[in-house]
Each structure stands twice: as structure tokens, then as C-alpha cells.
Amino acid sequence: MQGELIVFSGSSHYKLAQGIASHIGLPLGRARITRFSNENIKVKIDENVRGADVFVVQTSCPPVSDNLMELLIMLDALKFASASRVTAVLPYFPYARSDKKDESRISIAARLVADLLQASGADRVLTMTLHAPQTLGFFRSPADQLMAHPILIQYFRQKDLSNAIVVATDAGSAKFAGYFAKRIGTPMAVIDKRRMDDTESAHSVALIGDVKGKDAIIYDDEIATGGSIREAARILRDFGAREVCVGVTHGVFSGNAPETLNGADLDELVVTDTIPIPEAKQESIKNLKILTTAPMFGEAINRIHAGRSLSEMME
């Protein structure tokens, strides 16, 4: 058992941090974040954290680099204020897609972020649905990954799934989609998707499985520009799917994602709140449903604080 449990929030997703603290039954810790005219950031911890077990909630969303730097400075401030243990809670991990060296002379930025977090004083990290599970191997201190599938499974189980089929957007996501399909009791199909360059666009060229007349549920870890989802929806409609729904963890919705997704002919688009979605963007995306991750993060923080297992939460 660590010292007093305190949850702080960065400025990236205050609403989610409030929900997490509310689930735990605590007020958020007091801190002041100042941005000066020269774009420097100052963090002042406004309460005693000596000997405390501290958790800092800060997700990756625009401005990504500012939010990351703010988190690093807050971790450093807490560590030098003599917090007993500091855990960085990153619902969406920064630079998560830069997890491998697939070109010459590039940085594995996700590994660099892991190093920066540790150098800034993070004793452990808590995140959700990494783009690649091996990212956990970049950490030299404890790192835990929550998965959003229990939240999405609970939601989709409320529907009539007698005619449903889960669809993986590519071979890489087939393992996660297969687990999801097994838990909700449906068959699975896989789309053959090819990514040719760095334009964040991919093309769906074939389908493994039978979706004709079925209610397809596309399952993936994130939506960025929406191009992959639009391509997946197109091929599913071409192969005769009756309905097309989407369930993903991270709604990044970058660039012209709302327009792209609205052109995808989706019956429902379900995401979690790991990333804040501005109201204007919420209103512009048709059939959008946002599920909260606050109770799951709150339960995970309680378990970490008490030294209990997190794996039980994923069963």
C-alpha cells in the first residue's frame, strides 16, 4: 500500500480526468498550468504530495507536442515535490503508431516517449489499447495496458447480434477482432488492406469471409482520417453487408475525418472518450456514439494503488 492517493489532470482532457476522480471518490488534485508568451510551460503543484501515490491523467490530442511537454513538466514537478510514486495515465499514447523502424534513418518515436516519461519521473505508466502491444517493451519500469473491448462488448451485447459478423480492417487487427467476435458470439471476416505510402490512406482490395446479408461490425484500435474505415465500409457494402457499424477505441478524427466518415454510409460509429472530441465535431459526424472509459481507468487506479491485479479487469 502506497501513501495517500491523489489524481491530477493535465489540460488535454479535463472532463475524462474528472470522471476518473469521481469514480474513485476523490476531487482532482490542485495544480496550476501557465503558458507564457514565449510558449514556455510552467506547472505549479498547489498541494502537499510528499509521500503520496500520484496519478496524472494526460492524453495525446492536439496540440500533441505541447500536451506531452506539459505532462513531462508535471511529472518532474511531482517527483521533486517528493511524491512517493508517480504514474502517468495516458488514455491515448503519444506517437503510438511510430512503434517500429520500417524505413531507414527514422526514429522509433514511441520508444523515445517511453524514455522521456521515465526521465521525467514516471515510476509507472497506465495506457489503453496501444497500436502495437510490443510498445510496452519500450519501458524499463512497470507499464500497464488496459483494453477497451470490455466497454465495447458490453455496448454491442445490448443489440440483436443474431445476424452480426465482426470484421477486422486488416490482418494486423485480426487477433483483436477475433477475440471481440468470440466474446460477443459472432463469426469474423478480414479485409485485405494495402497501405502504399505515408499519406495515411489505405485501400481495401479483398475480403476473407461471407458478409452478404449480415450486420457487419468493423472493429479496430483507432480512427485517424477515416479513410480506412470508408474503404472498409465500401468493400463490405460491395459484398452485400446489410448494415455496417464501427467500434473503435480511439477517435482521433484528424483532418477531414468528419466529411470522410459521413461519406462512408455507416449505420453507427462507436468510439470511447480516450481523446476529447470537440462538440462541433461530434455534431458533424453522423450516428456517432461515445462511451466513457472513466470507470475502467478509475478501477485500474484503485487496483494499482492497492497492489491488486489488473488482468482480472480484462476477463
Are 24 and 54 contained in the same domain?
yes
pLDDT of the residue at 176: 86
pLDDT of the residue at 315: 67
pTM for the whole thing? 0.93
pLDDT of the residue at 205: 66
Are 169 and 74 contained in the same domain?
no
Per the structure, the complete domain to which residue 287 belongs is given by 149-291
Are 166 and 70 contained in the same domain?
no
Let me know the angle formed at the C-alpha of 306 by 304 and 310, rounded to the nearest 5 degrees. Answer: 40
- Residue 174 to residues 24, 78, 195, Cα–Cα distance (Å): 34, 40, 16
Q: For the chain, what is the radius of gyration of the CA atoms?
A: 20
Are 66 and 116 contained in the same domain?
yes
Count structural domains, the chain. Answer: 2
One digit per residue, pLDDT tens: the chain, 315 residues? 579 999 999 999 999 999 999 999 999 999 999 999 999 999 999 999 999 999 999 999 999 999 999 999 999 999 999 999 999 999 999 999 999 998 999 999 999 999 999 999 999 999 999 988 889 999 999 999 999 999 999 999 999 999 999 999 888 888 889 999 999 999 999 998 665 555 555 565 689 999 999 999 999 999 999 998 999 999 999 999 999 999 999 999 999 999 999 999 899 999 999 999 999 999 999 999 999 999 999 999 999 999 999 998 876
Are 120 and 185 contained in the same domain?
no
Rounded to 10 degrees, what is the CA torsion of 195, 196, 200, 206?
-30
Are 184 and 155 contained in the same domain?
yes
pLDDT of the residue at 238: 93
* Residue of 193, 214, 281, 289 marked active site: 193
Catalytic annotation on 193? yes
**What is the distance between the alpha carbons of residues 151 and 96, in angstroms, rounded to a whole number?**
21
pLDDT of the residue at 314: 78
CATH number at residue 68: 3.40.50.2020
Q: What does DSSP assign to residue 15? A: H
Are 141 and 155 contained in the same domain?
no
**What is the distance between the alpha carbons of residues 49 and 30, in angstroms, rounded to a whole number?**
10
Are 140 and 153 contained in the same domain?
no
Are 142 and 179 contained in the same domain?
no
Are 58 and 80 contained in the same domain?
yes
Are 122 and 159 contained in the same domain?
no
Of 49, 98, 109, the C-alpha closest to 75 is 49
Cβ pair 266, 244 in contact under 8 A: yes
Are 100 and 161 contained in the same domain?
no
pLDDT of the residue at 27: 98
pLDDT of the residue at 217: 98
Question: Strands 53-57, 124-128: parallel, antiparallel or unpaired by DSSP?
Answer: unpaired
pLDDT of the residue at 192: 84
